[in-house]
Structure 1
């Protein structure tokens, strides 16, 4: 009776090449698993960092900022805002837009999935229907990147956007310079 090896003759070279090929395949599988694990860890770290930043952002709110957040949705309320109120709300929105920009960048880079905004609780809805945002957006839109501009502007169809009925620059002039801006002078 012939042995198994004698029925299928293989040279030692063929055996070495087969073992080397199996080693390369095993190595590639290991590297692939490591990359996958690294991606999972990076995604978890991104969610963690954004979660901490969001919590810190909200921890910094006090009763006055909570009031401004509520009033921002009421056109009659924002008409009564002082320059200090507008400046506080602008800082809040700027910080919020930076968080939005971070999330959108991480989605764009593939670090976070496309539904990361919803998972992280960033429901902006039709934000330009908010009276305070409608007044501040023309200035804020120059301070953010194109992806944030597109995200915000796509959130509210043009027909639904509120026009700003407050002249914030005149309020600045009045508050800082102590005089009302004369809007009746013809130039």
Structure 2
């Protein structure tokens, strides 16, 4: 099996070795596109909420979720590629496409936890409505979790980060409530 190794300088390696797991997770999240991660989670939850009552199975929710998140991802790439030169100057189209696709890939990742839970719960025989509800509640946890990690990353106390996570999770709760009203 081939492994890809990344070599860090001595100072970076020493810093990483002393870094806690939670700090490393937060740093990697910050280096990526945390906004994209949140957008993907929100979009997936919103589509689940809107479509769940109109399909016979939980699998009928997956297609619309993937479609909407993919369209959003492609729209983000398009905007980043063609609006970027106004801000960043000139660079080859191929470089801009590659950079934008990589940066915006977090949008796709944001919906993965809820979709995986939806598939797993459906495979074990959970009814569609409950499977979607569980996936939506996982989205609530994901939104709150990202906010908590962000709060701790910038130095907030655990209590302050928890309050922020509750505020962020409120959007997810609104999606769960909206599902109830839509169906």
TM-score by length of 1: 0.24
More helix by share: 2
The structure number with the bigger radius of gyration is 1
Larger relative contact order (CA 8 Å, sep ≥ 6)? 2
TM-score by length of 2: 0.25
